Amino acid sequence: MRRLLLATALAALAAAPALAAPARIVSLGGAVTEIVVALGAGEQLVARDSTSTFPPSVTTLPDVGYVRALSPEGVLALGPELILAEATAGPPEAIEVLRAAGVDFRTLPGAASPEGVLEKIAAVGAALDREAEAATLAADFTARMQAAEARTAATGTRKRALFVLGTQGGRVIVGGEGSSAAAILALAGAENAATGFSGYKQMTDEALLAAAPEVIVMMDRAGEGAMSGTEVLAHPALGATPAGKAGAVIRMDGMLLLGFGPRTPEAVEALHAALYPEAG
């Protein structure tokens, strides 16, 4: 099935409208930026959003702000010829201004899945007129993803894992069904302990205790709403779960973990190794 999806994504490269090597690109979304650089077009980037931190070389570029809280004036001031944006870019009114500005604006596929990454690679390759490079990257990604999935497929009893995004109003925000967190947990061989709701939502203390996660997974980040490992274990409900009692907290780079870009196979392998250290 994945080979068929890869072939379909690559075939789409020929049909999609393409620009002749745009000289000034603004990338909005960490995975998008990673793909642009991986395709050899890093020197054409004139700006990126604050989630674009890999490879480290892009951090020297102007930062136009958080991908979901953009200022269109700040983006347009850099004179882009092409804007490549994640599907989550916003707010909607900012995107409307950018689209109306006469700049080539492209919203990329946003599915949190290996197939979604392939679609994103194909779309960026078409936009940059780098179809051959996109085909090579897609083939490499597919090979690495298949190797990672082969390792996780050997997992025996799956651990119940809970992705904790942070806190809001004193309540814990977790990743439910259909979220990118749920997707990466499944790929890494874990069972998502947060069920019965979609996306990222608050859970009551009672629900956290009932979820009974064996492992807590978090982004390694600071800032408003973030929780340290110590704070997680000190939380009345989280600390009383099997994960809290065992001190089983996994922290990973947020873009690596949830970005669903070219590094997703590495994220799957790293998370699986942290979940199941006994597997070796």
Domains and CATH numbers, the chain: 2-150 (3.40.50.1980), 160-279 (3.40.50.1980)
- pLDDT score of 158: 95
What is the distance of C-alpha 195 from the center of its chain? 20
**Rounded to the nearest 10 degrees, how much is the dihedral formed by the CA atoms of 16, 18, 24, 28?**
0
Token digits of residue 176:
């439910």
The rounded distance, in Å, linking the Cα atoms of 53 and 272 is 23
Under-70 pLDDT residues of the chain: 1-21, 222-226, 280
Listed residue (60, 80, 63) closest to 71, CA to CA: 63
> What is the predicted pLDDT for the residue at 9?
47
- Residue 262, Cβ density class (10 Å: 0-12 exposed, 13-18 middle, ≥19 buried): buried
pLDDT at 228: 75
How confident is the model at residue 12, as a pLDDT?
Answer: 47
Q: Cα(33)–Cα(259) distance, rounded to whole angstroms?
A: 11
Q: Decide the pairing of beta strands 215-219 and 25-28.
A: unpaired
- Give the 3-state secondary structure percentages of the chain, helix then strand then coil, rounded to 5: 45, 15, 35
State pLDDT tens for residues 7-52. Answer: 544 454 444 444 456 789 999 999 999 999 999 999 999 999 999 9
Sign of CA dihedral 173, 196, 254, 12: negative
Q: What global pTM score does this model have?
A: 0.89
Q: CA 218 to CA 6: how far, in whole Å?
A: 31
> Residue 14: what pLDDT?
45
Predicted local distance difference test score (pLDDT) of residue 3: 53
The per-residue pLDDT for 96 is 97
pLDDT value, residue 276: 96
The DSSP secondary-structure symbol of 251 reads E
**C-alpha to C-alpha distance for 34 and 64, rounded to whole angstroms:** 16
